[in-house]
Structure formats: structure tokens, C-alpha cells
């Protein structure tokens, strides 16, 4: 089992505020993202990832986001198996992101 890289919401926020362009994929469902997304994130619900791989750049870091960090971790595992090396899971998901805002 490959170790999944993780990023804390505070670190992600710091990097975004520093102007870093990050590939972020929000794997939550439509009704969840309607409540707000991290600016710059791309919405690809978890179940659609296999059909929408062409929308995910294979090179570089990919920050995966969900509500609590569980589904995004599954997405990281799946993408890693396909050779996406830069997968990083947002710890605590949007719940923690909003708490720290």
C-alpha cells in the first residue's frame, strides 16, 4: 500500500495565497459543492473520475478534496494505481478548511 501524501488546509491556503497554481480536484457530489468550493478547484465527482481522467494533468501535484478527507483519499489511491504520482489528500477535507477560514 503506497503512502498517500497529505496537505493540511492551512498549508494549502498559504500556498494559494502565495499565488501558487495548484491542480485541485474536488470529488464531492453536486449538492455538496453547491455549498462552496476552494477557488480554482475543478469539480469531478468521485464516481466520474474514471471517465474524466483526460481532465486531470498527470504531471505535478494534484490536491484531492472532499468533505472530510475519506473520499479524496480513495481518489488518491485510485489515481496512484494509474500512475498519477503527485496525488495529495487535503486532510480533514472541506470541514477542516471551513473551520480554519
Other Cβ atoms closer than 10 A to 64: 32
What is the C-alpha R_g of the chain? 12
* Segment holding 74, helix H or strand E: helix 70-81
Inter-residue contact 4 to 87 (CB < 8 Å): yes
Q: Catalogue the active-site residues.
A: 66
Other Cβ atoms closer than 10 A to 71: 21
Amino acid at each position: 500500500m503506497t503512502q498517500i501524501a497529505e496537505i493540511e488546509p492551512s498549508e494549502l491556503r498559504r500556498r494559494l495565497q502565495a499565488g501558487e497554481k495548484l491542480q485541485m480536484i474536488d470529488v464531492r457530489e453536486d449538492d455538496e459543492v453547491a455549498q462552496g468550493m476552494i477557488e480554482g478547484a475543478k469539480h469531478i465527482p468521485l464516481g466520474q473520475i474514471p471517465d474524466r481522467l483526460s481532465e486531470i494533468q498527470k504531471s505535478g501535484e494534484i490536491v484531492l478534496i472532499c468533505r472530510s478527507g475519506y473520499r479524496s483519499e480513495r481518489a488518491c489511491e485510485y489515481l496512484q494505481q494509474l500512475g498519477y504520482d503527485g496525488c495529495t489528500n487535503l486532510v480533514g477535507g472541506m470541514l477542516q478548511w471551513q473551520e480554519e477560514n
